Amino acid sequence: MSDADNIYTTPIVNKDFKGKRIDKFLAESFPFISRSQIQRIIELGNVLCDDITIIDNSYKIKSGESYILTLPEAEPAEPLPQNIPLDIVYQDADIVVVNKPAGMVVHPAAGAPDRTLVNALLYWCDGLSGIGGIKRPGIVHRIDKDTSGLLVVAKNDTTHRFLCEQFAEHSIERTYYAFCHGCPSPACGVVSGQIGRSPRDRKKMAVLAHGGKHAVTHYQVVSDYHGAASKIKCNLETGRTHQIRVHLSSLGHHLLGDQVYTKSQKITLKGAPAEALDYINHFPRQALHAQTLGFIHPATHEKMLFSSDLPADLAQLEQALLSL
């Protein structure tokens, strides 16, 4: 049953369907949508049951339940090259390493049809791997729109597969710097926990008791700003959506400027410069930078290691914190 052009509601489940996988049930209920598309829609958090988001394709449906499925908005068929400035750190016949600015989306998606990293790469590079599909040519991994820092992009399919294997084996070296509320104790440690779509808010990821994907973050406090904030070095063992933001939030240390995960916290320190406090408390994005990226080159098999400085806004944030 269709409630709108892109919203569909199933009948109430009866006992004959009890225990069936939700992806199979939805594919049978809406035969004009393929099962693979259904699975992707579920993973995107676009299936609800009584205002609870279903994010597990193997979820067993129950008698008396009904499900609401929302189709993603249609997107242009193919991204176009666009002359957008890029900070290309390194490039050869196989790879491109880019220092992505905050505010740039990695690839076209709903709400960001163009002006993405992919559009820029199509303009500046001769060729990209097709494995990522039309929307994501060459894209091996991503960082959030408002996170700055290093990404490696594949220029051919052999390179793409080789890099994906390294990511799957967790042998890629990735170091991030985060500026957070408060200071973790102990000052170094490991955060692990299954990360998946939050059942309460589809825009968020969360550490889940059941389901989700295994995620591990190693952290170390680099600077402690009177206990009010801290600069933290994070090394990713895995790479899940919003991993650092979710893991540090689970410790009670939300990233400064994070508009999604932060609780309305303000830093107040007696005697601190008002201008510095204003800059810190109104920082417009999550204070997170992908600073180091290391991997084995797919053609030469040499170890490649790249590093990028903090961008100007985070450097200014660090100076404001040092003045507290």
Instruction: List active site positions.
Output: 144
Pairing label, strands 68-70, 148-154: unpaired
Q: Find the helix packing angle between 312-322 and 274-281, rounded to 10°.
A: 130
**Is residue 172 within 8 Å of 290, Cβ to Cβ?**
no
Stated as kind and residue range, the H or E segment containing 179 is strand 173-181
CA distance 131 to 144: 21
189 beta partners:
219
Q: How far is CA 267 from CA 24, 146, 177, 274, in A?
A: 49, 21, 19, 11
Stated as kind and residue range, the H or E segment containing 305 is strand 303-307
CB neighbours of residue 290 within 10 Å: 23
